[in-house]
Structure 1
Amino acid sequence: MTSPGRGDARQLAREAAQWLALQDAGPLDADQARALQQWRARSDAHEALWQKAQTLRQRFAQVPASVAVACLDRPDPERRRVMRQMLGVAVLAPIAWAGYRQLPLSSWRADLRTATGERRAVALADGTRLQLNTASAVNLDFAEGHHRLQLVQGEISLDSPGQLWVQTRDGVLQAEAASLCVREQTQGCLVSVSRGRVSLQPLAGPRLQLQAGQRATLAPAAVTGVQAFDAQLPGWQQGLLIVDDRPLGELLRELDRYRPGVLRWDSAVERLPVTGTFQLDDTDRILALLAASLPVQVHYRTRYWVSLTPGKKIA
């Protein structure tokens, strides 16, 4: 079964939100309940998104009483129905966005996965220490002495005491007592080696070996962009985002990976230089620090819809 495309995911999210709003408006009648059950049974993707929608609905269930009492306490049935639908619509934006950014179906079925903003560390059977970054998923194959791992989506780091194979969409990595990081990107997988040696085999191209302190991009036809990097510099594995005189837009694009919802910024702030070390576990604090140290303003439409605009110091 193929994973739903981006457009399909958006449509599924809209349908799930509509069902959720209908459910919130009052008890479903027999025909509606049957139709909902049929919608959920259409595919694994339908059911997975419905479960995610239910989880999100529970998170947003505690609507402040002051918002609802004025209308819900009135005896007008039509007003009550409209208000309930409005509360359902209040959930639509985060659910629709969750559907847009949701992991593909293959990731939902993966052995290990993380949500947006979540990081996870796991000790594997062979002694390998695996870390999953935000919105990532992997499958494991350690049966009968195999030491194989498949990167389904996102970014992982590995600290392996022995030999380990990593399958990616662009090729295969063979690590020899190594520490490495693998990140899926649009043009291939970025592989960074901080200890040991890692052999990169593209799907259709020559093999290349990376040493500690090197990184390269593994693309389907070749390994490109071999370069040195500071392997001792802390990164997301330590929960840090470090930038040194980088454009603000670059930092915000990275930060967007860790925030559920919408993060937008005016093009006028794109090239503002930023230097700093930021804690990834509190992205709201990062935005506050940026507003305090740069000529930018941060606007919260909701917790899940944030925008940055120029401050007074930008002409």
Structure 2
Amino acid sequence: MSVGGAVSEQARLLAREAAQWLALQDAGELSAEQAAELGRWRQRSAAHEALWQKAEGLRRRFAEVPAPLAVACLDRPDPGRRRLLGQALAVGGLLPLAWLGYRQLPVASWRADLRTATGERRGLTLPDGTRLQLNTASAVNLDFAQGRHRLQLVQGEIAVDGSGPVQVEVEQGLLQAWGAAFCVRLDGGRCEVAVSRGQLDVQPLAGATMRLRAGQRLSFGVTGAHASETFDVQLPGWQQGLLLADNQPLGQLLRELRRYRPGLLRWDPALERLRVTGTFQLDDTDRIFALLAASLPLQVHYRTRYWVSLAPRQLAG
């Protein structure tokens, strides 16, 4: 809960900017121009400077603490600063603001039994023989005590491939599968499920249970699910380290790609509706940018390793 009520979008933006500037400074990648820009950012208002001082103080105090925990502490301003900082210090706005180069996961995810960083994928075999894969920036808790076969997806996306019963708990409800292979992804306030083998039941917290079979997928929330739709189970995806695009709007592709790259990825709105087709290797996002620049009228600018922007290509002459 925030100081004084709901977190405003402006407060979230202020907190995010502070975390980004701190990350760039810690990485030692601030140019003279960027250092001057940071100075102007700090001078923009008393709240800007106070939040910056708070962030730098926490960095010194918690140098050995994982960044998500340190950033979460920004929500605890001294009483005398509350009026000055206001909603900028809300937990909801600051928990996701891990400094770049760290795992960029909120506290609940940091404490999870299994987790991956941004851009990392991980596969393992569970005690009951179930094969589990974690996609980028994901976190899972395991419960195999007393014969249970339950996973709790805290954040991100997983792929499950098992021969027996398994349950997956999400904020929106419960999935129950029997000898199935399926993917589960948390996206905002909804959960997306896709079954490639077998079947499973989707039980929203408040809504009718729906059974999904191989080749079906759906999105559901706490109160129920949308109608299921079909998909091609033969198409490769993130489990194989691939990102596929079939005449896809570039903006949609970049939003998906942003999940796999630490730092800032921005693009000019004029690029949104460009169409792209291809199969891209998720392990080399810089190569993806190069391929996009070679096939589309755009250019890629690297301000730092963690700050990339795409803009329309400037015509010569």
Q: TM-score range by the shorter chain?
A: 0.7 to 0.9
| SS in structure 2 of the partner of residue 204 of structure 1 | coil
- The aligned residue for residue 203 of structure 1 is 205
- The aligned residue for residue 112 of structure 1 is 114
Q: How does 1:106-145 map to 2 (within 5 A)?
A: 106-145=108-147
2:223 aligned residue (202, 216, 221): 221
Contact persistence 2:165–2:179 (CA under 8 A): yes
Q: How far apart in 2 are the matches of 1:244 and 1:118? A: 24
TM-score (norm 1): 0.72
- The aligned residue for residue 304 of structure 2 is 302
| SS in structure 2 of the partner of residue 225 of structure 1 | coil
Q: Which amino acid aligns with 2:65?
A: E
Contact persistence 1:175–1:198 (CA under 8 A): yes
Q: How far apart in 2 are the matches of 1:108 and 1:267? A: 34
Task: Tell whether 2:152 aligns with 1:147.
Answer: no
Q: Which amino acid aligns with 2:67?
A: L
- The aligned residue for residue 76 of structure 1 is none
Contact persistence 2:19–2:98 (CA under 8 A): yes
TM superposition shift of 1:265: 0.7
Show CA shifts across 1:220-244 (max 9, x none): 0001131000111100000000110
Q: How far apart in 1 are the matches of 2:62 and 2:123? A: 32
Show CA shifts across 1:198-239 (max 9, x none): 100001111000010000012100011310001111000000
| SS in structure 2 of the partner of residue 232 of structure 1 | coil
Contact persistence 1:135–1:154 (CA under 8 A): yes
TM superposition shift of 1:138: 0.1
| SS in structure 2 of the partner of residue 291 of structure 1 | helix
Distance change >3 Å, CA 153–CA 300, structure 1 → 2: same
Distance change >3 Å, CA 312–CA 13, structure 1 → 2: closer
TM superposition shift of 1:264: 0.6
- The aligned residue for residue 290 of structure 2 is 288
Q: Which amino acid aligns with 1:224?
A: H
Q: How far apart in 2 are the matches of 1:306 and 1:279? A: 18
Q: Which amino acid aligns with 1:141?
A: D
TM superposition shift of 1:144: 1.6
Q: How far apart in 1 are the matches of 2:312 and 2:25? A: 39
Q: How far apart in 2 are the matches of 1:286 and 1:38? A: 37
Moved over 3 A (4+): 5-21, 35-41, 50-53, 94-99
- The aligned residue for residue 48 of structure 1 is 66
Identity of aligned residues (%): 60
Q: Which runs of 5+ in 2 are unaligned?
A: 28-56, 72-96
1:243 aligned residue (228, 245, 261): 245
Q: Which runs of 5+ in 1 are unaligned?
A: 22-34, 54-93
| SS in structure 2 of the partner of residue 257 of structure 1 | helix
TM-score (norm 2): 0.72
Q: How far apart in 1 are the matches of 2:170 and 2:183? A: 12
Q: How does 1:160-175 map to 2 (within 5 A)?
A: 160-175=162-177
Distance change >3 Å, CA 15–CA 129, structure 1 → 2: same
Count of aligned pairs: 253
Contact persistence 1:19–1:36 (CA under 8 A): no
CA RMSD of aligned residues (A): 3.3
Distance change >3 Å, CA 236–CA 37, structure 1 → 2: closer
- The aligned residue for residue 178 of structure 1 is 180
Contact persistence 2:119–2:136 (CA under 8 A): yes
TM superposition shift of 1:40: 3.7
Contact persistence 1:188–1:218 (CA under 8 A): yes
Show CA shifts across 1:184-211 (max 9, x none): 1124101000000010000111100001
Q: How far apart in 2 are the matches of 1:173 and 1:278? A: 31
| SS in structure 1 of the partner of residue 260 of structure 2 | coil
Q: Which amino acid aligns with 2:252?
A: E
TM superposition shift of 1:16: 7.7
